[in-house]
Structure formats: C-alpha cells, structure tokens
Chains A and B, each alone.
Chain A
Amino acid sequence: MEAPIRAREALGFILFSLLFSICRSSSLNHLLISNAERRIDLSSHIVKVYLTLKVENAGSTPTSEVLLSFPPTQADHLATVEALVTKGKRKKTTLVRLDVKATELPDAPNDAKYFTIYLANPLKSGESTTIEVLYLLTHSQEPFPAEIAQSESQLVYYRDSALILSPYHIKQQTTFIKTPSTKVESFTRVEPSNRAGTEIKYGPYEDHPPYSFSPILIHFENNSPFAVVEELVREVEISHWGNLQVTEQYTLVHAGARHKGVFSRVDYQSRPTLNGASSLRYLLARLPPRVHSVYYRDEIGNISSSHLRTDSRKSELEIEPRYPLFGGWKATFVIGYGLPLQDFLFETSDDRRYLNFTFGCPLLETVVDKLTVKVVLPEGSKDPSAVVPFPVEQHLETKYSYLDVVGRTVVVMEKKNLVPAHNSHFQVYYTFKPIFMLAEPLMLASAFFLFFVACVAYLHIDLSIRK
C-alpha cells in the first residue's frame, strides 16, 4: 500500500517542480520570505496550521499585498484563513487583524489556490514584517484502515508538504507537526527531519525556490471523535414580546474510520478506554448566558441524556446522543432554547433595529459541512439586510407562524465548511413599527367579539317557519 502512494507523490513533486519553473510570475518576485515557521496541530480532526512568515520586500516598489498559496486538495478543505500582524515594540505589542481574500491568478501552477493578505501599511523596499497566519483544514485526515473494529484504535493519514508552498522564495523554513499521541505508525522522512514525543520536526530547510513542494505522509493514531455535522439549520425567531427562540436541527455523523462488524455493549461498558476509544460519547454546546427553556430531542421524542450548566457568562449544554456514535454512524437531533431579547436586539440611531447573534455552530470541536441560518423577523418588518463578516449566500423567504396573515420575512444565510472559528457575530438590520405587535391580539379579540355577536344574533332571530 505504501509503495504506490509514494510513487504518486513523487510524481506530484516532479510535476510541481516542472511547473514552477515555467510559471514563475515576475510580479511576485520582489518579495521574499526570510524566515518561515509552520506549526501543524493534528490533535483533533480539525487541522490547525499556524504559519509565521517574515516577509521582506526585496524589490524596488512598495507593496501591500502578500500572497499565500495552497495546493488544490488543501484549498477544498480550507475552512478559514486569518492573518495577523504584530504592531508595536517589545511589551506593547498588539495584534492587528489583516484582510484576507481569495484571489484567482491566471497562471497558477498546477491549480494552486491563492489568498491575498492586504497589509495595513505598504511594505517599503527593503523593509520586512512578520505576519502570523492561521488556517484551519477540515476533512484532511483520512482514516486508514478505513474500517476498524470496536476494539481497534483509529489511525489516520495526514498529507502535506514538508516545504511550505509559496509563490515566494523562502530562505529558511521549519515545520513542526504535533500529533495527538506518541503513537505514530510512519512518517515520510525529508532530511533533516526527526520525531520527539508527539512532535515531528521537518527542517530547517534553506533556500527553496517558489513553489517548492515535497509531499509527506504521516500515519498516526487519532482517537478523537470526528464529529461532523453534515447539515445544520439554525432558526432564530425574533418576538418583540421579549423572546428570541433558537431552534437548531443537526445531522451528526462520525466521520472517522467506519465501524466494522459487531458492537458489543458488554465490551464497551466494561473496558471503555480500550473499546470504542474513538467513539463519540458526548458533545458540548456553548450557549449564550441567560438561556432558558432548553430542549434536546429528536423526531421520536425527548432525549433524556443532557445536562445544562449555567453561569453569568455562558451556558454549557452537555448532550449525549441516544447511542454512542462509532465511525460512520449517524444521529439527528434538535436543540432549542429561548433567550432574552434585550441581550441580542438593539436599535440604531436611525430608528432601525438590528439583531446581533453568533453565526456558527455552538458545538465545540465540530465541523459543519453545511450551515443554514434563518432569521425570522417579526411580522410587518421591512427592509431586512444582513451583515456577515465572511461571504455567505443570502436570500429571503416567507414563513407563516402563529396566526400570521402576511407572513414573516426570513433572512436565510448559507455557508459551507464551517469550523468553531466561524462563531463570530453577524447583524441583521430591519425596520419595524411597534403597532404591528398588536395586530394578532386585536385580530383574536375581534374574532371572539364577532363570534359572540353572531351568537347573540342567532339567539334572537327566530328562523322557524311555523309559529
């Protein structure tokens, strides 16, 4: 099994080296990276990569754009890219977030994908700056063997390059890979490379031209459960009577190595550490403080195995699926809760209202493949507009709820491939006249009034033919 993979990677390497020589783009050459350090954290199923780049402008013109490049296989799994730059000297350093945008370059070698980091201050000729980049990869650890029995532990492959893929010349670089345990079956050696404890070190490598690539494969034990929410629909319903009702529908799957053969409860219960080590036993959801009326159920009723802990700063809901999830097993459930409206709904100076709420999934350490956030505005609200810190697909819907006549406007936002890092706030602005709050009570009152009037009329009218 090893040999063909190696061969394929070797081929890939040759292709890359060929391509970079052809496609070197002259406009990028004036930047170079004098020192790069990469730390890859493989301890959970979300791969976290911290990249520290010391960028130097070797050209003559100032520039404010720095390019990051990713091989296409990684780019598909890239959930988020963030860049920070340190400002100030010594102890007064502050981190400033930089804009990062996906960019298409026409002559990208081998379909490499690019992200552009926009520096706050243009980098003048001869100057250098240090950029901290954090990017997260999902679905990047491939279970091997793909099917395991209950008592086996989960082994995964992680593929990357020993050299950082970059459109710039890198003078010196080092890569540290942190594995969840000391149990590493194998890893590709690209000298100098060595392993100590849970850390594998590649490098330092000196003077590598742009688009250098050296595939590596690490085969290691990762028993953390691969909790993946295939689809999550969050519905946030605003009621101006003082409540914010959130309903979240989950389709959860354990995306690790598939479970094979028998599931023995007696083994699972008597030796929990050895049996089903990678199974998903519980999940932790972090909910806003002052949460009330929390429920956790699925289509066949309440699920009794959950605990809620609340304090003044946050609420934690610990939920257990009905059964422990082994690789490939699925479960669906719904979490719902109410929140006090004044914590989330505010008024702007121009008499508009806006909801300020978190976007992502409240479950910790969970990847969401597809997230749909629906904000149900009260009946009669107008001009909705959403402000989200990252690109999402948006459209409007209409929903009919309790005794609605014209229906409620629903702002629908969809995004794929989310990680907990996406749990930032978004805003939905709309205008609403408080008189609409009275519409339904008045309607009910008048309906009852008419009913009684009809009754009175009926009792006083004699419809009989014969007297």
Chain B
Amino acid sequence: MAAPETSTAAVPTLYTNNTLRNAFGGVLSFFILLLIGVLAFSIRLFSVIKYESVIHEFDPYFNYRVTQFLTKKGIYEFWNWFDDRTWYPLGRVIGGTVYPGLTLTAGTIWWLLNSLNIPLSVETVCVFTAPIFSAFASWATYLLTKEVKGAGAGLTAAVLLAMVPSYISRSVAGSYDNEAVAIFALIFTFYLYLKTLNTGSLFYATLNSLAYFYMVCSWGGYTFIINLIPMHVLLCIVTGRYSSRLYIAYAPLVVLGTLLAALVPVVGFNAVMTSEHFASFLVFIIIHVVAFVYYIKGILSPKMFKVAVTLVVTVGLAVCCAVIAVLIALVASSPTKGWSGRSLSLLDPTYASKYIPIIASVSEHQPPTWPSYFMDINVLAFLVPAGIIACFLPLSDASSFIVLYIATSVYFSGVMVRLMLVLAPAACITSGIALSEAFDVLTGSIKFQLPGVTSNAEVDAGETSSDTSEAQTDEVKAEKPDDTSKNRPSKKSKKKERELAENPPAKATAKAKAKAEKKRLLALPLEASVISLLLLVVLGAFYVVHSVWAAAEAYSAPSIVLTTRSHDGLHVFDDFREAYAWLSHNTDVNDKVASWWDYGYQTTAMANRTVIVDNNTWNNTHIATVGTAMSSPERAAWEIFHSLDVKYVLVVFGGLIGYPSDDINKFLWMVRIGGGVFPHIKEPDYLRDGQYRIDSQATPTMLNCLMYKLSYYRFVETDGKAYDRVRRTEIGKKYFKLTHFEEVFTTHHWMVRIYKLKPLKNRIRGKAKKSKSKTSSTSSSKRSGTKKKNPWL
C-alpha cells in the first residue's frame, strides 16, 4: 500500500486507476481465499464420500470419547475426570493429562450449533472439525506469507497448503486428532509473531500470546514454537537486527505465553521446569541485556559506553558462569537431562530405539524414507530451495524467520515421519514464495517484451515489481481492503511515520534506481519466459493431480473398515466394529478386556469396556505386563490376566484374509517391551537364527506362547492346511487345545478373535504338574503375588 501511495503522490493521474485496481484486487483475493477455503474443506471429504462419516483410526476415538464426555457432563466435570475404564486397575486422570484444545473446540462448536437449534450429533461435529480447521489453516497461511512476501505469495502458499498431502493425511474428515487444529494454531501463532514483528503493535503481541495459548492447549508440538521463536530472536540479535519491534514481539509472548501455558493442566509447571522451555527464558534474558545495552548506548557518550561495557562484561560473565553452572548441575541430576523421551528422540534420533521401545514401536515415529517426502510434499520438495533463495532476496526479519522455520522442520521431519506435518506448512510457504516470485518475474518480462502494450506494460511491470520490492525492504505488508481492522487509518499514519523515520528522503531516489535495475534484470527473452511459465503451470497441475489422488486413494481409509475390490465388486471387511459391537452388547458392562495397547482407545470408545492398556502409553510397566502375558505360555498368561481381573482377551489376526498389521506382526514389540521390564522374556527365544517365523521352523517358545495360540486356534479347520496369508507360510503347530481360555467370539473374517478366561477349577491339580508349573511361572507369580494372592500357588 505504501508503494502506490507514494507513487500516486508523484503521479496524481494514476490515483483513481490505482484505487480501483486495489479494490478490485481486494475483492478478487477475497473470493480466491473463499474458494481456497472451500477447496481445503472439500478435498478432505473423500473419506466421507467413499466410506462413511465415521471417526478414523485410534487416537481420534479417544478424542471423540472425551468430547462426548465433555458435551454430556460439562466443563467442570471434564477437568476433574478420572477415567476408571482404562489402565485398569490404575485408571487415568483424563482432565489433567490431555491436551484439551481440540476437545474444547469441538465441544464449543457443538454447543453453539445446538443452542441455535441445529441438532448435529457430537460425532458429526468431530468428523468435520479437521476439514474446517484446514480451511482456517490455509487462510492463516495466506496471512503469514503475506507478511513475508506480499499478497501474491500469500495466495499461492494458501492454495498449496489447502491440498498438501502431508497435511491431508492428518486432517481428512474423521481424522479427529490434535494435529487437526494444532497446525492452524501453529501457523496462526507464527503469523501473529511476524505481524507483531512487522508492526511493533502490542495489540498483536497480546493476540500472539493468546494464539500461543491455544496452541499449547491443542498439541504437545507447541514446544516447537517456543523454541523456534527464541531461535529467530537470537538470530536477529546476532545479525544486528535488534529493534524495539523485536522486543515487543518477543517479551510479551514469553511472559504472557508462559503464564497462560501454565494454566493448561497437562503442561502446568512444565512450562517453567523442563528443558524444552529453557531456550525461551535464556533468550528472554539475552534480549533484555541487549535492550539494556542499546538503551545505555543511547544515553551515554561512546567513551563512557566502552567503560561501561568492560565493566558489565566482566561482572556479567562471572554471574553468568555461576548461573549456568548451577543450571547444568540441576539439569544433569535428572536422568533424562530434563527432556521428555519424545523430545530426546528428536535431538538424538537413535535414543528411542536404544532406550524406549514403546516409542520406537510406533510406525509414525520412524524416520521417513525418500519416497515418503515425494508422497507427502510432492513438487514442493523441489520448490523449497528456490523459495529459500527468494527469502534471501532481500533478507528481512520475516523472511529470515521462514528460512529458520524450514531449516528446523526439515531436520525434524527427517527424524520422525509424523513431523512431516510440521514441515508441510513451511514447505508450502517457501514454495508459494518461490512460485509467486517466478510468476512475477516471468509475467513481468512478458509484459515488458510484448511490443503492443509496451507503454502500459512498462508501468505495470514496474509497479508490480516495485510493489514487491517495497514490501521486502520495508517489511510493510501491502494492505488489502478485505483486511478489516479497526485502526486502519491510525495504522496507516503510523506506518507512514515509521517509513519517514526509517528512510527519509532517500526513498524516492532508491525506488527509481530499483525500478530501473529491476527492469533490466527482468528482461528475459519472451519465448523463455512463456515456456517456463507453461512449465510452472504443468508443475502446479501435477501437484494438484497428485494431491487429489493422495486425498482420494491414499489417505482416506478410516482403517476401521477395510475394503478390497475384487472381480465381483467391492468387498467390505467391517470386523473391528463387529467385534466391538459384540463386546458392547453381549458382555457385562464392567468386564475387563485385555488386548495389545493399539486397540485400547477403540475398545473403550466403541465397546465401552474397561481396558488394561491403551494408546496413551504413559505406564510402560503396565504395557510390559500385557506384553509379557501375550508372550508367555498359556498358564502363566492366564495367571497374569487373572491377577488383572481380565475377563476377555482380544487379539487381531489377519492370517485368514491377509491383513498385515495384525498382532502376530506386532508380536516382537510385545516381546521387546515385555522383556524390557520382565527379564525372563528374552527376544532370542522367539527367533530362530535371528529370524522371526511362525512356520515349522519356529522355536517352541514361539509356538507355545499365548499370542500364537489365540491367533491360530482352530485355524487349520478353515482350509485344512493352516496357510497364513500374511506370513505366506503354513503355521508350525496346527492342532492344539486351549486349556485356560475359551473362544467366545470370532468375527466374520477372523480379524478379531475374543477369548474368555476360564474360571478357576475347584479341583487341586496333581503334584507333578504343580511343581512343573511353578518353575515355569515363578517370575510372574512373584509379581502377581503383590497384587493378588493366587490360591493355586
């Protein structure tokens, strides 16, 4: 806005023309943004259209259950919710251990709709929360990129984000997870930070703290913000870009943000006590020191200043050393150096696989492969470097932030597949900048070269390029009419004041120079620019096609319903819900169901039965107990389960139809996690020459463990050979009987099998058997003895 204003002062005839252009551009970009929102929402509806409106996967079921509780019982009950239906017999304090942002958001939407007498079910609201917030996220991307490189780049980045596959994978309709709202919160916080940095307005600084608070409420990934922003501040200070705007952008955020973050029960005192937050406080101190130095510098003469510096540096260094020594001692005294396991595995990618198998066992915590980059961000991977270069031409506070953001997120995405999600917005922003700059240059040079419209085009080209250059040099974003902010006139005048203060009369001449230079630079040959323009469009088209394909085919399956297409039409495998519905209607409401932790959330949400462990893996020992039971022989397993009051055991078995992510394939993790706590479970016992196999070459320990037996019980009677379609082999032990468990339900395609623990027998067993069983289960009985006295032993 500043550019046209100054130029119109010089050329009054262009004044009306320009305002009309701006108004038209404003309306156009408003409608483009609206369409981007529609696109972001509708591309995520493939899952509803192809499957059904249902909650997906595992964690969303927990969030859904929490939201149901919230809408039913109200907010106060929610904060105090102690859930006794999970982690039996320990229970879990849900109100204090859950990031409430998503739940509160969906709960508020539901409440609003219902108070308007729009009777949508909680499930519907939950299903559509993620697509709605994706639209918000793309708008936030527009705002953020506009702060960096102007509206054109903003629109490009927004449309890229609206359909970036990486983000789609986490936000399709039904994927009701924290990331759904957190990505919006992340981008919006960054936008407000840059907005504050560009304007120096305390109003935006406060909004920024609130946005940060929302982010803290929503996702554990907020630590990324509270580390990235200090890094950027430090970068600005080091490169000599300190200004009062930087101070206003940072200091209120740390103070207010930390106070607000400590209000969230799950964070609480962690906001000041864990190492994840130390960087922000350290930079907080540094920025104050720097601010103080700048202040002193302003009031003292240069000579006095030097004296003061030497004095302060000697004293300050001594104090700093002492403080740092104390801090290091404090941090070092804690075993994990004050970092949480997940953060540590980010800093040291080998940490999890060495020490915490439970984190390593989750597939989304594995490092990604190269194809997954291509799958998830597609052509953006090639545009990102160009965008980074564009950010350096010229480097501003805002664009240096983007460079820092993309650099750190590339590293994090390299450690965990899951964090590809954090990379996606950064990649979209940089690619948006790259594309927009490229279009600017190419269309500019085409206009410049076309003979017919030279006179007109010259002005246009000059204008657009000067527009962008202006935005870059002044970090003043071009204001749009749709940007309906309250203090528009006052802001304008403020901006003008600042402009005048910063670069007084040199402006006009500098602009004239820049214009001339730009024109010379832009003089690309016409053919080259037309061809490269076409190529860029093809690249964009390829991206769109890929994104739609990814949304439709790769990321829309709800994973609780499987479908296969065979020659006689679509075949649906709805076994999980069959089993959960059976459990919910045909067992007692207080029965305890044991399964591997993957199915914990679904069992509590869909079957409404108490589970022993669930996907919130807070208690490793408890999970190890279940893992031990699954890898123990039948009798020992029965004792463990009995000591936990378990009535039903649920296993997932894919051998009949070839469903690969079943319990047998996850079994080695059960052994590892179990063995990590109970050393009598040894992984080599289950491996033959280092190979995991279930055929006739399998070890006897493997063939006698509970998981094998429950999975393959009477499997041989289906085809006579007991051919496992997942492992592509015949199983090792085909005919066996269960003595302590009985099959009570098996789903239609055998994917879920439910067994009931047989009750205690009245008869006391013979002596020989008793002694034998004692030796086999001493370790487990020792442990279970503390929980419940077993009358058999």
Contacts and interface: CB of A to CB of B under 8 A. Distances in A.
B718 interface: yes
Contacts of B117: 400-405
Contacts of B606: 300
A464 interface: yes
A286 interface: no
How many B residues are at the interface, by size bracket? 35 or more
Contacts of A291: none
B577 A322 contact: yes
B119 A402 contact: yes
Nearest to A252: B585
B727 interface: no
A298 B54 CA distance: 11
A331 B484 CA distance: 55
Interface string B479-494: 0000010111110000
A263 B490 CA distance: 77
Contact of A329 (B119, B488, B572, B586): B586
A270 B746 contact: no
A301 B605 CA distance: 12
A302 B54 contact: yes
Given A264-B714, A270-B717, A464-B490, A300 B580 contact: yes
A313 interface: no
Nearest to A321: B581
B574 A331 contact: no
A458 B714 contact: no
B81 interface: no
Contacts of A262: 742-744
Contacts of A467: 489-490
Contacts of B116: 403
A298 B578 CA distance: 11
Most buried by B among A300, A329, A401, A467: A300
Contacts of A329: 582, 585-586
Contacts of B572: 304
Nearest to A459: B484
Interface string B606-620: 100000000000000
Contacts of A330: 585-586
Contacts of B582: 322-323, 329
B747 interface: yes
A322 B581 contact: yes
Contacts of B746: 263-266
Nearest to B486: A463
Interface in A326-361: 328-332
Contacts of A304: 561, 572, 574
A330 B580 CA distance: 13
Contacts of A300: 54, 577, 580-581, 606
Contacts of A264: 714, 743, 746
Contacts of B488: 464
Interface in B707-765: 714, 717-718, 742-748, 750
A2 interface: no
B521 interface: no
Interface in B576-590: 577-578, 580-582, 585-586
A466 interface: yes
Nearest to A458: B484
A462 interface: yes
Contacts of B747: 265, 323
B712 to A, nearest CB: 12
A51 interface: no
B745 to A, nearest CB: 5
A386 interface: no
Contacts of B745: 263, 265, 323
B240 to A, nearest CB: 33
A331 B578 CA distance: 11
B52 interface: yes
B315 interface: no
Contacts of B744: 262-263
B118 interface: yes
B118 A301 contact: no
A261 interface: yes
A322 B585 CA distance: 11
Interface string A366-401: 000000000000000000000000000000000011
B736 to A, nearest CB: 14
A447 to B, nearest CB: 10
Contacts of B586: 328-330
Contacts of B743: 262-264
A329 B561 CA distance: 23
A123 B147 CA distance: 98
Given A265-B746, A467-B489, A298 B581 contact: yes
A261 B742 contact: yes
A459 B484 CA distance: 7
Most buried by A among B484, B585, B586, B746: B585
A266 B487 CA distance: 74
B489 A331 contact: no
A266 B52 contact: no
B336 to A, nearest CB: 39
Contacts of A405: 117
A401 B113 CA distance: 11
Given A263-B744, A400-B117, A403-B117, A464 B581 contact: no
Interface in B467-509: 484, 486-490
A98 interface: no
A328 B587 CA distance: 11
Nearest to A333: B581
Nearest to A400: B117
Given A331-B581, A331-B585, A466 B574 contact: no
A324 B577 CA distance: 14
A303 interface: yes
Interface in A256-286: 261-266, 270
A301 B52 contact: yes
B717 to A, nearest CB: 5
Given A270-B717, A400-B119, A464 B585 contact: no
Given A298-B581, A304-B574, A402-B118, 9 more contacts: A263-B745, A266-B714, A266-B717, A270-B717, A303-B574, A323-B581, A401-B117, A401-B119, A463-B486
13 contacts: A264-B714, A265-B750, A304-B572, A322-B577, A323-B745, A329-B582, A329-B586, A401-B117, A403-B116, A455-B484, A458-B484, A464-B486, A464-B490
Interface of B: 52, 54, 116-119, 484, 486-490, 560-561, 572, 574, 577-578, 580-582, 585-586, 606, 714, 717-718, 742-748, 750
